[in-house]
Amino acid sequence: MRLDHIAYRVKNRKETAKFFTNMFGYTLSEEFDINFDDGSSARCCAMSPPEKGNDRCPWVLKGGRRTRPPSPNTVFHLPPEIFISDGDSGSIVGKWVKERGGVGGIHHMAYQVDDISGLVSSWKDSGIKFLSEEIINCPEDDIRQIFTEPLQVSGGVIIELIERGAKGFCTKSVKTLMESTDKGKVEKDSEASYPDTLNWLLGRNGA
């Protein structure tokens, strides 16, 4: 398991991307738009850490140089990628940012796992709830993902589990994941189980 990426929903993705470039040396690796069925849209960018090499092997260093683990039980993890999105005022992303004072914040943290099906089953047995009934599958990009509900123990931050192959982000899956976080769905499915977290997540006072 490794920290795969940290996702921010913000007012201006370009300003946030500039910050990570200037302060940490991240580089832009991918940009795309998500168009929702209601006509609104979100704009996304993925950023890679300066240590990242030409493939996704966790001990590949920039420039293609490989450092072999000193023992079979040692793995060098790269820093996480950064995923940034902003959106129209009426979009899922835009409304989420507005409800947090127009600033936004960390929306979720994604952990790369080897067996997502087994882990989801284990977490469900432990009482963890997810925002979709099934794992979201993107076979063309060899990626499987799912979001937990906002968790009290993480301060309302969603945890994503991701099982990936050699490719990056799947646009189709990003849309499905974003739609699973829609405010109406979260209210309907989660309020009884996580009232305090939900009040905070939706920007309600008095929690």
Domain around 33: 2-201
Is 151 within a domain?
Answer: yes
Is 97 within a domain?
Answer: yes
The answer to which of 23-27, 105-109, 190-194 has the lowest mean pLDDT is: 190-194
The answer to which of 80-84, 107-111, 173-177, 196-200 has the lowest mean pLDDT is: 196-200
Is 57 within a domain?
Answer: yes
- Count of domains forming the chain: 1
| 112: helix, strand or coil | strand
What is the model's pTM? 0.81
Is 191 within a domain?
Answer: yes
- Report whether pLDDT(84) > 70: yes
- Report whether pLDDT(130) > 70: yes
Is 79 within a domain?
Answer: yes
Q: What is the pLDDT of residue 55?
A: 55
Residue with tokens 């076979």: 139
pLDDT cut 70: percent of the chain above it: 75
Is 207 within a domain?
Answer: no
Sorted by sequence, the CB contacts under 8 Å of residue 130 that are 6+ apart come out as 120, 123, 124, 146, 147, 148, 149
d(CA 60, CA 52): 7
CATH number of the domain that residue 171 is part of: 3.10.180.10
Is 150 within a domain?
Answer: yes
Is 73 within a domain?
Answer: yes
